[in-house]
Amino acid sequence: MTHTHTANRDSGDRLERLFMLLQRIRREPRKVSTAELEEALATAGMDVKLRTIQRDMEYLSSQFGLQCDDRDKPYGWYWLKTAPILELPGMSMHAALTFKLVETYLHQSLPTSTLQFLKPYLSAAEAMLNDNADKQLSQWARRIRIIPPGLPLLPPEIDPDVHEAVYQAVFNSRQLQIGYQKTTDDRIWPYRIHPLALVVRDSVIYLLCIFAGYSDVRQLALHRIKHAELTEDMAHTPADFDLDAYIAAGELNVRCGTDLRLKCRFVAPDGLYLLETPLSADQTITWENETTYTLEATVPWSAALMRWLLGWSADIEVLGPAALVEAYQAEIKRITGALLR
């Protein structure tokens, strides 16, 4: 059984390798050397010796009519211009661009196993974008950036084994045995947990879970989990647990209460970008005179709202509601007092 399993795996690995090699061959006059193919496979996570790739290319040449330019070293492989188009189940340029954006902006959010699965596709997308004659489209990935709100923070380091175990536990609803280090304690605390969901906030991934023997939902920063063991026991998810409702209730400090009707006064041009990117669908702006205007919008009471108001503290007057005005002034007083110490 072991021998058969190994043979099947080796056969599958070779088939995947041959497929990737075929994808990287271009029509003349463009050529690709065996060393370049070796580098492309290495980028895709395949450790293949140069001699093995040479044998693979000789085999593909006999089956598909690939050409080898051996007049100069390094030798270059290519398709003849007149060769029939080989319809490989590849990807379009738009799909390649999408894979590139996924790699750039969702890398941290994807489980390790998913990233490993996507490696050949990400590599193929990179090759297609670099080699495609449509330079306008292939350059587009270099001409788009997503800037996170606020001060961008580098993501903390997460143990790859922990990362994989946690994602597998969430996806397969399995219990975890973990060791967790609290921010105020150097000790590693053992816990048996029922994973519920993952939330990415700023640069930190949080695991929502329930500790064995308890019923309340806890939040664990993934980078503070020092070891994690996937068990065979099924995790329990409360029937009334709703991830969106949990976040909306302010449990992750995203939202801390019910909606309120914000009212504040600006002096132009401060805050005029809110005309184009309003705080809410029901936002209104009333000009008091040529330079001063009052803004009203329905927004959730949250820590993010308070930080936003404090960021405008030199240019804004918070007018309502009364509870927000009181909290805002108290925060200003606290910050001022700390600076004067």
Per-residue pLDDT tens digits for 87-127? 455 566 777 777 777 777 777 666 666 676 677 677 777 77
CATH class of 160-239: mainly beta
pLDDT computed for residue 138 by the predictor = 58
Look at residue 1 and tell me whether its pLDDT is greater than 60: no
* pLDDT of residue 8 exceeding 50: no
Compute the average pLDDT of residues 154-178: 90
The pLDDT, as a whole number, for residue 151 is: 66
Q: Identify the residue with better confidence: 323 or 43.
A: 323
**What are the start and end residues of each CATH 1.10.10.10 domain in the chain?**
2-78
Q: pLDDT tens, 19-70?
A: 788 878 877 777 888 888 888 888 878 888 888 988 888 888 887 778 888 8
pLDDT given at position 251: 72
Which CATH topology does 259-340 take? Alpha-Beta Plaits (3.30.70)
Q: Does residue 160 register a pLDDT over 90? A: no
Average pLDDT, the chain: 82
pLDDT value, residue 5: 44
Query: Which pLDDT value is given to residue 32?
Result: 87
Distances (CA, A) of 288 to 228, 266, 278, 285, 293: 59, 10, 19, 10, 5
Dig out the tokens for 247 from the structure.
């976040």
User: Which pair of structure tokens corresponds to residue 70?
Assistant: 């051996």
pLDDT over threshold 50, residue 6: no
pLDDT at 108: 67
The span from the CA of 339 to the CA of 125, in Å, is 52
Residue 4: pLDDT over 50: no
Nearest residue to 316 (alpha-carbon basis) of 278, 275, 262, 276? 262
What is the per-residue pLDDT for 2?
A: 45
Query: What does the CA dihedral 200, 203, 204, 205 come to, rounded to 10 degrees?
Result: 30
How much is the pLDDT for 294? 94
| Portions of the chain given CATH number 3.30.70 | 259-340
Q: Range(s) for CATH 2.30.30 in the chain?
A: 160-239
Architecture of domain 2-78 in this structure: Orthogonal Bundle (1.10)
What pLDDT is attached to residue 164?
A: 87
- Number of other residues whose CB lies within 10 A of the CB of residue 261: 13
Bridge partner residues of 293 (DSSP): 266, 287
Among residues 161, 79, 92, 157, the alpha carbon closest in space to that of 121 is found at 92
For 214-272, what is each residue's pLDDT tens digit? Answer: 999 999 999 999 999 999 999 999 999 999 888 877 677 655 567 899 999 988 777 77
Q: Express as a percent the part of the chain with pLDDT over 90.
A: 30
pLDDT of 87: 46
